[in-house]
């Protein structure tokens, strides 16, 4: 919507006697640029046009919500026909039975509060399905929001070079102690695990660690994950911290 149009709409809202405008016309205006319409509303007094615009905005939001819900359902169905294919090979660190029929890949951020919830959900799913599940953790640090996300990822990968098993313990501690994230806590945890702290401090800035994290981020973005957490259950995407029941739905649908 251009400035003259926005100004005209503002005038119509503020002075309803000037407006012989239909609901459909208002809806078109909202569809074209709802933000400018709402800016106009902030300056308006109560009027029939004001109420009309509010009704139209409510309809607009409801329609958009229905469209989004339908799109998600369609995407969900399509994903079973064409599942995504993350890299899981001989070099991949796997938690659980390597031959398990269900692979959960998580793209996550150690400082993300929703990822902490996702961690708890994955643990619940692993307890329920046992040997049927193998779990792969990949990094998607949202550095613009979480200043410790990258450092925590680097420390996990550096410790994994010494002990993949103890790196998983580090992983658990990070999500269970998000309020403590920082260099002192990483060093303290590495020491408690009996690992070489100074070696890890050096390795975290090395090429091997950097390449691993960059590959994880590239893969996540390639699959359309922009927020965290994101999951793949045998290639079926879950975008967000959904409850365990949603994982159950997918696993049961896979008939494994």
pLDDT in tens, 158-173: 999 999 999 999 999 9
Q: What mean pLDDT do residues 186-215 have?
A: 98
- Please report the pLDDT score of residue 112 as a whole number: 98
The owner of tokens 């793949």 is 232
Q: What is the Cα–Cα distance from 179 to 196, expressed in whole angstroms?
A: 24
More confident residue, 26 or 99: 99
pLDDT digits (tens, 9 = 90+) for 225-247: 999 999 999 999 999 999 999 99
**In sequence order, what are the residues at sequence separation of 6 or more whose Cβ sits closer than 8 angstroms to the Cβ of residue 89?**
none
- The SS3 assignment for 156 reads helix
pLDDT surpassing 80 at residue 157? yes
Q: Report the C-alpha gap between 157 and 81 in whole angstroms.
A: 34
* pLDDT at res. 17: 47
- Check whether 130 has a pLDDT greater than 60: yes
- pLDDT for residue 51: 73
Query: Per-residue DSSP letters for 33-71?
Result: -HHHHHHHHHTPPS-HHHHHHHHHHHHHHHHHHHHHHHH
pLDDT by residue (tens digit) across 107-125? Answer: 999 999 999 999 999 999 9
Cβ atoms 229, 241 nearer than 8 A:
yes
Q: Write down the pTM of the prediction.
A: 0.74
pLDDT of residue 248 exceeding 80, the answer is yes
pLDDT attached to residue 46: 55
**Average pLDDT for the chain:** 87
Rounded CA-CA distance 27/131 in Å is 54
Q: What percent of the chain has a predicted confidence (pLDDT) above 70?
A: 80
CA distances from 113 to 110, 120, 168, 245, 248 (A): 8, 11, 19, 20, 23
Lowest model confidence (mean pLDDT) among 46-50, 220-224, 239-243? 46-50
CA dist 111 and 11 (Å) reads 47
Whether the predicted pLDDT of 137 surpasses 80:
yes
Per-residue pLDDT at 50 exceeds 90: no
Nearest CA among 29, 9, 28 for reference residue 19: 9
pLDDT in tens, 11-34: 455 545 444 555 566 667 667 766
User: What value does the mean pLDDT take over residues 45-53?
Assistant: 62
* Domains of the chain with CATH codes: 3-81 (no CATH), 95-254 (3.40.30.10)
DSSP 86-151: ----TTS--EE-TT-SEEEEEEE-TT-HHHHHHHHHHHHHHHHHGGGEEEEEEE---TTT-TTHHH
Please state the rounded mean pLDDT for residues 246-256.
93
């Amino acid at each position: 919507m251009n400035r003259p149009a926005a100004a005209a709409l503002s005038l119509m809202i503020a002075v309803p006697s000037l407006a012989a405008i239909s609901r459909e016309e208002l809806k078109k205006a909202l569809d074209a640029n709802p933000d400018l319409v709402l800016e106009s509303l902030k300056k308006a007094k109560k009027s029939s046009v004001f109420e009309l615009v509010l009704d139209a905005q409510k309809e607009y939001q409801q329609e958009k919500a229905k469209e989004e819900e339908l799109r998600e359902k369609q995407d969900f169905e399509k994903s079973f026909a064409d599942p995504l294919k993350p890299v899981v090979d001989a070099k991949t660190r796997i938690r659980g039975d390597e031959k398990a029929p269900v692979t959960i890949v998580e793209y996550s951020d150690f400082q993300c509060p929703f990822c902490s919830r996702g961690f708890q959900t994955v643990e619940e799913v692993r307890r329920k399905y046992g040997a049927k599940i193998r779990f792969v953790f990949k990094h998607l640090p949202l550095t613009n929001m979480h200043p410790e996300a990258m450092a925590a990822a680097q420390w996990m990968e550096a410790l994994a070079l010494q002990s993949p098993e103890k790196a998983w313990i580090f992983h658990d501690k990070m999500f269970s102690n998000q309020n403590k994230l920082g260099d002192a806590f990483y060093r303290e945890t590495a020491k408690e695990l009996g690992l070489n702290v100074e070696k890890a401090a050096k390795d975290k800035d090395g090429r091997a660690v950097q390449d691993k994290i960059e590959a994880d981020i590239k893969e996540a973005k390639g699959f359309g994950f922009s927020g965290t957490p994101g999951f793949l259950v045998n290639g079926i995407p879950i975008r967000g911290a959904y409850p365990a029941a949603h994982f159950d739905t997918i696993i049961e649908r896979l008939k494994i």
